[in-house]
Structure 1
Amino acid sequence: MKTLLNKKRKKKGFTLIEIIIVLAIIGILVTLIMPKFGNITSDAKVKADFANAKIIHDATAALLAQDKFTSEEIKKMETSTKVEEITSLKDYLQTIPNSKSAKGKDFNIMVKKVGTNNEKISVIINGTEVYPTLNEDYK
């Protein structure tokens, strides 16, 4: 009976070396994965800007089709103008978006007459046309 009590109990758990190895492996994996998250967020910001530009473009096209712009606003939009400076467009949109990828930059709108009844609507951020075509320089 005494022999059973004197037997050493086997301790359960990890050794310090095992824990250090696991932490080192986790650290290596984290350093490999982190740059991927940076690219994902920058791509998401560019796509958010593209979506906002499309909304601004579509709103401008709808207001042009309904003749809701004043002659002063149309004159203003012949050059690149901030969206928030066009009262009809500002009232039509719920909020005026700011660029996510070009921090602090505003969306600009430009409408050029093409032919008799056709207009080319361009949405611009920081001098680069974002919509209808997203230039490679913008990325």
Structure 2
Amino acid sequence: MDDEMRPPAEAVRLRLRLEELQKLRDDAQRERDEMQQEMYDVMDRCGELKGQVEKLEWSRDGRLEQERERLRAQLVQSQQRTEAAEDRARDEASRRDEAERRELEARGERDQMEQEMYSVMDRCEELRNELRRGKQIVNE
């Protein structure tokens, strides 16, 4: 049936339906285009965020490496201080041991000299006694 053969009310209804369908198609196309644009915007934003994440990771990795190096340097310094303290402690112990050895040696020498002095004093006493006896014998 041609448009001319259809009743005018049906032709108007079909034309209105056609316009409605075209409007729906246009709206759907516009929504599809908007959604596609949103998808592209989201993809662009994801790319930007990915770039930022990579920069942050590089920055974090750099900071972690710096922190690792700082801690490594602290550890080396700490080890060096510990070794130096141990060396000083060994030196001090060695000096103490040497001082104790000298003190014992000096005590031994002092004790020996004291013993010799008492021996000399005893001998002097014996000689005095002999001298007295000799004087008594000579006086008698």
TM above 0.5, one fold? no
- Greater Cα radius of gyration, structure 1 or 2: 2
Bigger helix fraction: 2
Bigger strand fraction: 1
